[in-house]
Amino acid sequence: MGRSAPFFLRHGGDMLEEKIKRVLEEFRTDSKGTASPQELRNKYFGRKNGMVTLLMKELQLVPPAEKPVAGKQVNELKLALEAELDGLEAGSASQALAERLQAERVDVTLPGNRRPIGHSHPLTLVRSEIEDIFSSMGYWVEDGPEIETTFYNFEALNIPEHHPARDSQDTFYISDTLLLRTHTSPVQIRTMQKQRPPLRIICPGKVYRRDNPDATHSPAFQQIEGLAVDESLTFRDFKGTLEYFLKAFFSQKTKVRFRPSYFAFTEPSAEVDISCIFCAGVGCRVCKTSGWIEVLGAGMVDPAVFRYVDYDPEKYTGFAFGLGIERFAMLKYSVNNIQYFYESDLRFLEQF
């Protein structure tokens, strides 16, 4: 090789052209191997020692006259490798995407996870069912406060002070004249005060009594009060209505019996029994072998009550009743401890 040979052909003891060829060949081999496009880019274009980078640096040593040719050759190498690397990178990106799509594949035809949905509490179920039965007979629902006055809870229901009926309902007093209602009967009075007959209402709600909790008692429980007032309601309407209701709620086979009783706000008063739903009247532990179970108190509205609300007792008659929702639920679902209704135990609640 004479001294006149172009510098870049002599540079480094190797002709630049040779170097370019070798780099290209090496790249061809590399690109068929296992190196990732990222590794290849580093090997050929790394900022310090990339093979193409070094060639570009060598260009600076080439005499100006030879630069255009040398520059063009190195540049062609650079463009060619870059294009190939771009292609390899695109290929590996789409392969990575394909792999990811496969790995994260979602089978949209699989059934979804069912979330458990709640349902009404058994006491709510019973209350709704009773409301439905009475609604079908033209009754509507009325509401009253749980904190009552002695007037509505007792006096207007014909239970004056010192009347023994006040003692029989052990009352939570808030003050001399305020209390937690012991029954839903005060809603009768409140409704009659604001409305003239005809009246057909039921009044569900919480009531409170100073009872110790046990299998059949709770200091807070729920009642439904019923009241019908019209011009010609008779004892037959009273009996027929309650019989219809009890058969609809328990079963058409249920027998209904009215026993004389006493309530201050009804006259005559009755306690109503149904034939035992556990032994069909034969006699068992639940009905204490009598074949009958007491389910509610009722009667014809006492004229004294009408006077408190300015209804003319000569013109209007009515009947009323009161029942415990827990008791109805216990009978309907064969629950032998009232406390289960208040414990929020899912093993119990899930059965309804």
Q: Give contact residues for ligand DAH (rule: CB under 6 A).
A: 183, 185, 225, 263, 266, 297-299, 320-322
Nearer to ligand DAH, 73 or 153 (CB): 153
Rounded least distance, CB 198 to ligand DAH, Å: 17
SS3 191: helix
DSSP notation for 193-205: HH-PSPEEEEEEE
Look at strands 220-230 and 317-324 and give their pairing: antiparallel
Q: How far is the CB of 122 from ligand DAH (least distance, A)?
A: 21
Q: Which is nearer to ligand DAH, 20 or 157 (CB)?
A: 157
Q: How far is the CB of 204 from ligand DAH (least distance, A)?
A: 13
Which lies closer to ligand DAH via its Cβ, residue 16 or residue 296?
Answer: 296
Task: Give the DSSP H or E segment for 140.
Answer: strand 140-141
Min dist. Cβ of residue 234 to ligand DAH (A): 16
Residue 150 or 266 having the CB closest to ligand DAH: 266
Smallest gap, in angstroms, from Cβ of residue 135 to ligand DAH?
19
Three-class SS state of 74: helix
Q: Least distance to ligand DAH from the beta carbon of 229, Å?
A: 12
Matching residue, tokens 């170097």: 19
> 3-state DSSP: the chain helix, strand, coil percent, rounded to 5?
45, 20, 35
* Nearest distance from C-beta of residue 159 to ligand DAH, angstroms: 10
Q: How many CA atoms lie within 13 A of 68 on its CB side?
A: 1
Of 51 and 242, which CB lies nearer to ligand DAH in the complex structure?
Answer: 242
Helix (H) or strand (E) holding 320: strand 317-324
Cα–Cα distance measured from residue 94 to residue 122, given in angstroms and rounded to the nearest whole number? 59
Q: For ligand DAH, give the closer residue by CB, 55 or 264.
A: 264
Q: Is 317 exposed, middle or buried (0-12, 13-18, 19+ CB in 10 A)?
A: buried
What are the φ and ψ backbone dihedral angles of 86, each rounded to 5 degrees?
Answer: -55, -45
In terms of CB distance, is 71 or 268 closer to ligand DAH? 268
Q: 156 to each of 80, 188, 194, 263, how far by Cα in Å?
A: 105, 10, 14, 13
CB 326 within 8 A of CB 214: no
Name the residue with the smallest CB distance to ligand DAH: 322
DSSP track, 256-292: EEEEEEEETTEEEEEEEEEE-TTTTTS--TTTTTSSE
Shortest reach from residue 241's CB to ligand DAH, in Å: 12
What's the CA gap between 32 and 17, in Å, rounded?
Answer: 23
Nearer to ligand DAH, 19 or 302 (CB): 302
Residue 243 C-beta: closest distance to ligand DAH, Å: 16
- Measured in whole angstroms, the distance separating CA 258 from the mean position of its chain's CA atoms is 42
144 vs 297, which CB is nearer to ligand DAH?
297
CA distances to 131, 305, 338 from 324, rounded to whole Å, are 13, 22, 11
